[in-house]
Structure 1
Amino acid sequence: MKSMKFSYHILIICFFILGCTNEDIHDEQLVPDVYNKITPNTSNPKNLINYARKSSKELIIEYQTGISENLKDSLRKKYHVIRYEKCDCTTDRIEKWEFGRGINIEGEKEDISEEGGVEGTDYEFTFYNDDAINGNGGSQGQNNNLISSYIKSQNTGVTIAIIDTGIDFNKFSLNHPFLYNPESNDVLCEIGKEIELSGWDFINHDANVYDDNGHGTLVTLRVINKLREENVTDYQILSIKAFNHLGKTTNFTLQCSYLKTIKSPISIINMSFGWYGTSGNLLRKFISENPDILHITSSGNNEYNNDNTIHYPSSYTLDNIVAIGSINYTQNAIASFSNYGPFSVDFLSFGDLISIHDNNYNYYEVSGTSYAAPLVTAKSAKYYTNGYTTSATMLNQLETNGTNLSFVSEIKYNLLIE
């Protein structure tokens, strides 16, 4: 959306809600017996949380369409690849190559990019989720029968994908199936005896998308709670687990996860994660190839100006990706931790001291742009079900229905739009 944005205009999404409460709780009879306060990982050293750590001996290779296995094998031998890895079950478009010690990874990347049969290359790196909860997920696990009980009998309305740490279904109501039901023309993941039910775990390479961190569960609850508030029932969610119990992933794992996600008829993808440093050029390319999918991203929690310190993927200059910052409505100000930027952050939403409840009467007070993004995802889904079924028309509705505010410091913004 960066090229579509009005200069120094930011949108805050809080539509049709008198008083704009920060509570997602609508069942007055619920009394919390557990209350967990979860805050962003801003207390940890920034280089351990957000900055990508580039591998010195691995590259991601994108092949040209139709390249033979023999040519792939010849290329691996030519560059003395000691190990290679393919994506789980969904695509042979990319591979990860590992080289021996002493390799000049920059030079190798440049040389491989010029090879016939190679479409592109990218660095491999690791990074942590902006709001990783440090293993605060559940411990009881879940079996395939439990997952299956949440799969809808038939998909209706809008399909939302959430690429995150997975879902702990023990925290959701059994009376409300919401998972995407794979369709007949979907390419299902299958490894050995593991066959995809709905979504895939790219960390453990199986069909069980159990959330052993907690972040993905809270993001999903935030989406569902908001959809319920907006009276939207015709939706389904595809959960893709791309982060481990510490909220950590690699560029290759993320790209495999994304390429799996777009194999299904997705309209909106929630991407509540991000990093600094290496851009991940192939992910940007893959997103650009899907202009009708709206990508909702968190802008980061380091109080950085993303116009100057680039945050990925939120800062990709693509019309189908929007960056969400966080606002504290009680203080009439942008949240103290939120990244900002007149040209790089597209919307503000409520992501500071937000209450989220699960089906077990547990309440979580969360802060982070990761939790602001899902509200915008839910609003976009509402517009989709109202007939605005492209990324451009959903974005237009977000802009049109915002509210004009002017209380944020001029150092950061001249204008806020709700």
Structure 2
Amino acid sequence: MRNIQKLIAFVLVLLTCSCSTDDLITESNIKTENDKIVNTSPENITSKSNFFPTYSDTQLIVQYKNGTTDPEKNNIRMANGVTNYEVCHCTNKDIELWSFGGVINIEPKRRSIKDQVDDESDTGVLAVDYEFVFGLDIESPFTGTDLDTGYTSYIKEENSGITIAIVDSGIATGLTVFNTDTMANKILFNADGVAVGDEKSGWDFVDEDANTFDDNEGKHGSIIANMITNELTTNAIPHQILPVKVSNSLGQASYFNFLCGTLYASERADIVSISMGWYDDGFGESLESIFSNIVDANPTTIYVTSAGNLSSNNDMLRHFPSSYEQENVIAVASANEDTSKISNFSNYGVLSVDFFAQGEGISFYDVFVQGTSFAAPQVTIEAAAIFYEDGILSPEELKDELSIRGSVVLESFTDLGDDISRDTYFNKLIIPFD
């Protein structure tokens, strides 16, 4: 039955993809955020669909069991014909990107490595994933200034309150929204004592340096950072933003950089904001993944994720990472500007979506943006406020409190009939500080 549902959903998505995205634009100065995948990828990437992963046929990602020694890792690489490898810029060095010196038959290779997993052994390979590319919106108009003015003056002298990592396109601190009367607002995480290399705050996994400048033309990560820090500052909630850059100027993110960025954030943050994603195409084993292992290894870290923008049911066609089933993953769908209805572009799901929040009419300079990417930060804001008021709660306790504070959506909220829950524990509407 599950496969039949996925097939039906796949057909529906293809029909959706054949339509113009212009119907998501409600005003001439509104830009729409879509979970698109860039198809202008290198020759070693096989393109599948705008909304699905774009796979590498030269690389795989491997995770070792904790405690696997360097000599053991070296022997495993040699046995599998690895010609080059990269490790994450993290305290944990158990995730590696393997290259094989050229194009290979990727699925048999992945299967042969997976067959080496020994449940009886305390060391060795734990998991193996495909390497792929996915992305943010790549058609966003230019927003704000493109000047990289540096970031060190925005770092807090000492961390206090709630640490929120934003795994995205970085943050352009030179934008006026991050400054008051030409003075830098000190909002960034101070990495003193936890730095892996020369970072002072966060890390750029795209360019492999300490400057997390947001060079995405739509300033995707900067908008999210501004939403969160502006609301928390206004309401006197102490916090710091940990910028983790995993997508490039075109909005492309590799899965390896995404994994490394998520791991890096998980080692430091109370809440991890993830407003990007990809769809289950049936090719990989998405639920049994290295990302899932990272979430499992950090059960008290909260991952607030966007649910995607295909107007589809995530119960049938999974959107990741929002469709991971762990309690500490919160999936957020979008409501319209006055929060009276579900956004026409928003994904939904009784089982796979936890909450709704405003994702339309979000102002940033002289434009308005919309998308589940901008609904998710609303829940991040409310979660941070709860943590500040009540202390760090378990994921179950946090969801309980969010549900108490949330509003039950009305019958008129959606025309989707029984496809969506209106009065159950989840799928409630969150309005920060309401």
Structure 1 residues 167-192: Cα deviation after superposition (integer angstroms, max 9, x where no partner): 001111135211111242x1x132xx
Structure 2 counterpart of 1:216, from 195, 216, 221: 221
Give the Cα–Cα distance (whole angstroms) in 1 for the partners of residues 420 and 139 of structure 2. 30
Equivalent residues in 2 for 1:320-399 (5 A)? Answer: 320-330=328-338, 332-356=340-364, 362-390=365-393, 391-399=395-403
- Please name the residue that 2:160 is paired with: 156
Residues 160 and 238 in structure 1, CA contact (< 8 A), matched pair in contact too: yes
Deviation at 1:239, TM superposition (A): 0.6
Tell me the distance in 1 between the aligned counterparts of 2:72 and 2:188. 40
Tell me what 2:243 maps to. 239
Matched to 1:373, the amino acid is: A
From the superposition, tell whether residues 60 and 51 of structure 1 become closer, same or farther in structure 2 (CA, over 3 Å): same
Q: Structure 1 residues 42, 312: closer, same or farther in 2, change over 3 A? A: closer
1:219 partner letter: I
Contact 1:137 1:168 in 2 (8 A): no
Q: Deviations over 1:327-379 (max 9, x none)?
A: 114483211110111111111100012223xxxxx233010000000011011
> In the alignment, what sits opposite 2:86?
85
Matched, 1:180 2:189: yes
Aligned to 2:104: 103
What is the TM-score when the length of structure 2 is the normalising length? 0.79
TM-superposed deviation, 1:72: 2.2
Q: Aligned residues: percent identity? A: 35
- Selected match of 1:141 from 140, 147, 168: 147
For 1:401, the aligned partner's letter is: R
SS at match of 2:304: strand
* Aligned 8 A contact 1:388 1:394 in 2: no
| 2:252 counterpart letter in structure 1 | K
1:304 equivalent among 308, 312, 325: 312
Cα distance, 1:183–1:393 mapped onto 2, change above 3 Å? farther
1:14-53 equivalence runs, <5 A? 37-41=30-34, 49-53=50-54
Structure-1 residue corresponding to 2:12: none
- Quick check: 274-283 or 312-321, which moved more? 274-283
- The alignment yields a C-alpha RMSD, in angstroms, of 2.4
Matches within 5 A, 1:62-73: 62-73=63-74
Question: How much does 1:202 deviate?
Answer: 0.4
- Normalised by the length of structure 1, the TM-score is 0.82
Quote how far apart the aligned CAs of 1:109 are: 1.7
Q: Distance in 2 between matches of 1:42 and 1:239?
A: 20
Residue among 263, 277, 281 paired with 1:259: 263
Contact 2:113–2:128 (CA<8 Å) still a contact in 1? yes
CA contact (8 A) 1:42 1:337 kept: no
Could you tell me how far apart the structure 2 residues matched to 1:189 and 1:139 are?
30
State the Cα distance separating 1:91 from its structure 2 match: 3.1
Partner of 2:59: 58
* Aligned-partner Cα distance in 1 for 2:37–2:82: 36
Q: CA deviation at 1:49?
A: 4.0
Identify which range, 54-63 or 245-254, moves more after superposition. 54-63
Distance 1:388 1:133, change over 3 A: farther
CA deviation digits over 1:39-62, x for unaligned, max 9? 123799996543111222211111
The alignment partner of 1:405 has SS state of coil
Are residues 305 and 181 of structure 1, via their aligned partners in 2, closer, same or farther at CA, if it must alter by over 3 Å? same
- Structure 1: any 5+ residue segments left out of the alignment? 1-34, 357-361
